[in-house]
Amino acid sequence: MGIGLSLLSVFELARVTVPTFLEGVTGRIDPAVIDGRTRALGERVLARARVTLTVEGTERVPADRAFVYMSNHQSHVDIPVVFATVPATRLRMVAKKELFRVPVWGRAMRAAGMVEVDRGNRSAAVQALARAGEQIRSGVSVWIAPEGTRSRTGAIGPLKKGGFHLALATGTPIVPIAISGTRRVLPAAGRSMRHGVAVRVRYGAPIEVAGRGVEELMAEVRAFFETSLAELEAG
């Protein structure tokens, strides 16, 4: 059943990847269409996996304003979870360069406005954050997982500073997102998905960045992740 779910998820990815790829080749990308596809993709993947999804806190987040969304990172399933639940009407993610190397999928991600980051190349990483800043200034929210890699244990790893510098440089509030349960759907080293898993998501209130420092913001976001995850896991 798990392998079947994974294959169905690949099918769902193809349903959005192929038309986006073709539109990118022909220069006919419609951002509103991309937004609809990513949300629908998230919803369909979770439905395929029969995920029992509980979401709280979205009422704290205005949908008509750009934010830097930051979530903890447990699984590739975090991607459909965020796209299916985020209050933002327009959202693009910052993703590691390896995802952009996948044939067709990588081209489609670039066409859709997703931001590629090479964390091993400081100059390229700075350029990627500059592109993310352009998205924000155009009214598009950006989502980044500041841990940079999936947690194998569920514990929060060290947070990288890039997303926090992005929020400060653009004066954009940070919305923290705590995600619990996705690693039980598809763990970091897993290749097949489990069905019927309960996933819980908590959106925090926007954190204003004016007059704040990177270390202070990192500490606040980390505290939100740790406290929220403990409560979500216990609940």
Q: Which of 51, 92, 88 is nearest to 201 (CA)?
A: 51
In this structure, of 40-44, 52-56, 96-100, 145-149, the range with the lowest mean pLDDT score is: 96-100
- How many structural domains are present in the chain? 1
The residues, ordered by sequence, that sit 6+ positions from 172 with a Cβ below 8 Å of its Cβ are: 66, 67, 68, 136, 166, 209
pLDDT, tens digit (0-9, with 9 covering 90-100), for 5-40: 454 555 455 556 655 545 666 677 677 777 888 888
pLDDT, tens digit (0-9, with 9 covering 90-100), for 206-231: 999 999 999 999 999 999 999 999 99
pTM for this one? Answer: 0.86
- Region of 127 on the Ramachandran plot (φ > 0 left; ψ -120 to 50 alpha; else beta): alpha
pLDDT, tens digit (0-9, with 9 covering 90-100), for 175-191: 999 999 999 998 877 77
Instruction: Give the pLDDT confidence score for residue 5 in this predicted structure.
Output: 42
Task: Transcribe 72-123 into DSSP letters.
Answer: ----TTHHHHHHHH-S-SSEEEEEEGGGGGSTTHHHHHHHHT-EEE-TT-HH
**Is residue 58 helix, strand or coil?**
helix
CATH at residue 155: 3.40.1130.10
The larger pLDDT score, comparing residue 106 to residue 41, is at 41
The rounded distance, in Å, linking the Cα atoms of 85 and 82 is 5
Per the structure, the complete domain to which residue 125 belongs is given by 2-234
Q: Which of 138, 134, 216 is nearest to 174 (CA)?
A: 216
